[in-house]
Structure 1
């Protein structure tokens, strides 16, 4: 499976079925992130039910608090 992830093409050996699956594969499961899939924002409550298709464009931004 090939995805365009944060502006770079990434190939995955296994299929990614959902946004939640992608985040888990990247080691980001359960972490505070914002996800955009094919230019549409994906709400955290929908990660498990939002499919990711081969060739999709995904932007992931980590949320960090600071001061």
Structure 2
């Protein structure tokens, strides 16, 4: 599940790869995986699995 929608994920995909494929920049987002905020330094080491729930929050400036 990605941002509330069912998504297929290729085997051995880490968080960095997945959010990059989905047009996000890892340095500009906060990632929650299974209700836990994941530190950016762990994005590459965490491999996504079936039934994971991933939420990506991006921030934009403006005024």
TM-score, normalised relative to structure 1: 0.77
Aligned residue for 1:46?
42
Gaps of 5+ in 2: none
Q: How many residues align?
A: 63
SS at match of 1:59: strand
The structure richer in strand per residue is: 1
Match of 2:3 in 1: 6
Structure 1's consecutive aligned runs of 4 or more residues displaced over 6 angstroms after TM superposition are: none
Structure 1: gaps (5+ residues): none
- C-alpha change, 1:56 and 1:36, in structure 2 (3 Å) is same
Does 2:50 align with 1:65? no
User: 1:50: Cα distance to partner?
Assistant: 1.5
Within 5 Å, give how 1:12-51 maps onto structure 2.
12=9, 14-51=10-47
Q: Is the 8 A contact 2:32 2:56 kept in 1?
A: yes
* Alpha-carbon shift at residue 24 of structure 1 (Å): 1.9
